[in-house]
Amino acid sequence: MSQPEFLPIQWKSTFLSLLDQRALPGKKEFLQIHTVEDTIDAIRDMAVRGAPAIAITGIFGLTLGAKKKSGNIIPEEIDSLINQVFESRPTAVNLSFALQEAKKRVGEETDWESIAKIWESFALEMMVDDLKANQALGQNGAELFPKDQNQIHIITHCNTGALATAGHGTALGVIRSLRDQGKKVVVYADETRPFLQGSRLTAFEMLEEGIECYIITDGMSGWLMNHRKIDAVLVGCDRVAANGDTANKIGTYNLAIVAHEHNVPFYVCATKDSFDLNLKTGDEIPIEMRKESEVTQFDFLKTADGKYLLPEGKTSPIGARALNPSFDITKAKFIKNFITEMGCFVPGEILVRLKSV
Ligand code: MRU
């Protein structure tokens, strides 16, 4: 297994070092996180984001919480710690599954010291497993493209790379795997309003790796599919319901409809931890509503000493209201294949494929 390209989540035994993704691409700054409360803030404020990275960070947060305590546990304290972390971001199911597993692993242990050790090794194990899963997923996705096709043009949305995972990435993992096979990949990265994960983070990862990448605004994909040859749309996901409906970053649904209209295959890249078979359809997936100011101003347009370059960073009139649903649901009918570490399959195969793992 090769090493991850970036190390945005680094465990330092007594604290967690997190690459602050809000400062990217301007600065590579690491936050030193010492408490569960600071971990929750880092997740909620999106210093760390991306479904797998959130889940791993959450379990390190539990570990920090357990390390601050001593003596014997009161079972309610475990629940309260887990619930605090659970509430940080609701849409991605990876965090919720990881917290359920963390609770299961407490088993018969009764002292905080042992529980901190259990959670610490669980989080470290998650990092290894996620990197392995992404590398397998990347290989499986690369096989969907014809062997003799040397140039591949891909549209992607949000950031699904090493910054969002333990390394390699999901949709960006497929792109890395294609590049590793010697193919020339041209990436069109949706800028991904309002948080700009595409233009800030995906473009940053692609530049660092020397993969040709063009940022497009979220409304440009229709033009692009009309005027250039696009081979595929590859996106990640935050939660997949049993029928294949998929929650991912806001704007994914629009992209899927445009791809469908232009007969461009639309692939969702997901590790098994993103499939929530408890939910029948996407209507049951909770959609996070984030603050309006993410839409009405660019918090990124700040100088190093915290001054906004535009008045208060605003790109809209003072008093303008906004809607900011942070995710949307892509109907299963628009998804050609799920690309996973277990192989590629159509939405109708989810139950069979996932029940056997
Ligand atoms: O709000 P974010 O940046 O956490 O949203 C991230 C996404 O929507 C990703 O596509 C998803 O988490 C998959 S990351 C491998």
Residues 204 and 295 in one domain: yes
pLDDT tens string 186-240 = 999 999 999 999 999 999 999 999 999 999 999 999 999 999 999 999 999 999 9
* 113 shares its domain with 170: no
Of 134, 169, 193, which one is at a domain's C-terminal end? Answer: 134
Q: Does residue 302 register a pLDDT over 90?
A: no
Regarding whether 258 and 192 lie in a shared domain, the answer is yes
Q: Is 50 in the pocket of ligand 1 (CB under 6 A)?
A: yes
Which of 100, 134, 168 represents a domain boundary (last residue)?
A: 134
**Residue ending a domain, choose from 70, 105, 134:** 134
| CA dihedral over 351, 254, 325, 197, signed as positive or negative | positive
Same domain? For 99 and 246 the reply is no
Task: Verify that 115 and 171 share a domain, yes or no.
Answer: no
Model's pTM, two decimal places? 0.94
164 lines ligand 1 (CB under 6 A): yes
User: Average pLDDT, stretch 333-343?
Assistant: 97
Domain count, the chain: 2
Instruction: Say yes or no: CB of residue 246 within 6 Å of ligand 1.
Output: no
What confidence tens digit (pLDDT) does each residue in 94-150 have?
A: 999 999 999 999 999 999 999 999 999 999 999 999 999 999 999 999 999 999 999
Which of 87, 49, 42, 82 has the alpha carbon at shortest distance from 65? 82
The range of the structural domain enclosing residue 210 comes to 146-355
CATH (domain of 349): 3.40.50.10470
**How many angstroms is it from 104 CA to the middle of ligand 1?**
26
Catalytic residue list: 238
Whether the CB-CB separation of 315 and 321 falls below 8 Å is answered with no
Supply the CATH number for residue 99's domain: 1.20.120.420
